[in-house]
Chains A and B, each alone.
Chain A
Amino acid sequence: KQEVTQIPAALSVPEGENLVLNCSFTDSAIYNLQWFRQDPGKGLTSLLLIQSSQREQTSGRLNASLDKSSGRSTLYIAASQPGDSATYLCAVRRVTNDMRFGAGTRLTVKP
């Protein structure tokens, strides 16, 4: 059974800080891992997708890494801004084709 854990559950930082969100998963048999952003009461916005054969992906101020063998991924956000405040979800796509989500990290960036 695939379990996805995200640490920390909540994070509050001042504007401008660099920060790291962590995701771990128990079953390394995955196709890919995806990071999403969810604003309150809204759907999901895909941020980065890392294939199982890849080590990292970058988009703007975001960088995500994947270590499949150890079951870990990190999302690095550089120079955080108040607009980055949201819940960040990590999800792994299993070989059965469905996705399993972590509980998310609720990020608040204070101006």
Chain B
Amino acid sequence: GAVVSQHPSWVICKSGTSVKIECRSLDFQATTMFWYRQFPKQSLMLMATSNEGSKATYEQGVEKDKFLINHASLTLSTLTVTSAHPEDSSFYICSATQNYGYTFGSGTRLTVV
């Protein structure tokens, strides 16, 4: 079955630094990947839609200059949280489409101290 690999699974960083999260589709090509954020005891909220070779489309309220998304190939999308602050601490999860369903990565727990 389709597998999406996401890492790191967890990361702790200092306030003001940047963190990069990778999302790879291992056995299929994903023209579109999605990035979600989940705060404790809340559901997943779509942050942006990433299309290979083009700029990402961000949801309302998501700062594109803070959350940099790069989708340089059909199997890799990256999310970089720039100048991280404690309020950016959250669970970030990516997904990729294949046929009709979505496959999700295992998520990244980001803690900014």
Question: B-contacting residues of A (Cβ < 8 Å)?
Answer: 31-32, 34, 36, 41-44, 46, 49, 51, 89, 91, 93, 97-104
Contact = CB atoms under 8 A, between A and B. Distances in A.
A99 B46 contact: yes
Contacts, number: 52
20 contacts: A32-B100, A32-B101, A34-B102, A43-B6, A43-B107, A46-B101, A46-B103, A46-B104, A49-B101, A89-B43, A91-B44, A93-B102, A97-B32, A98-B46, A99-B95, A99-B102, A101-B43, A103-B42, A103-B43, A104-B43
A41 B43 contact: no
B1 to A, nearest CB: 9
Interface residues of B, number: 23
Nearest to B2: A46
A97 B49 contact: yes
Nearest to A6: B43
Q: Which 5 A-B pairs have the closest CB atoms?
A: A43-B106, A44-B104, A103-B43, A43-B107, A101-B43
A98 B49 contact: yes
Nearest to A4: B43
A31 B97 CA distance: 13
A51 B100 contact: yes
B11 to A, nearest CB: 14
A98 B34 contact: yes
Given A36-B104, A93-B102, 9 more contacts: A32-B101, A34-B101, A43-B104, A43-B105, A44-B95, A44-B104, A89-B44, A99-B95, A100-B46
Contact of A99 (B34, B42, B91): B34
Contacts of A102: 43
Tell which of B6, B42, B101, B103 has the most Cβ of chain A within 10 Å: B101
Contacts of B6: 43
Tell which of B44, B93, B95, B103 has the most Cβ of chain A within 10 Å: B44
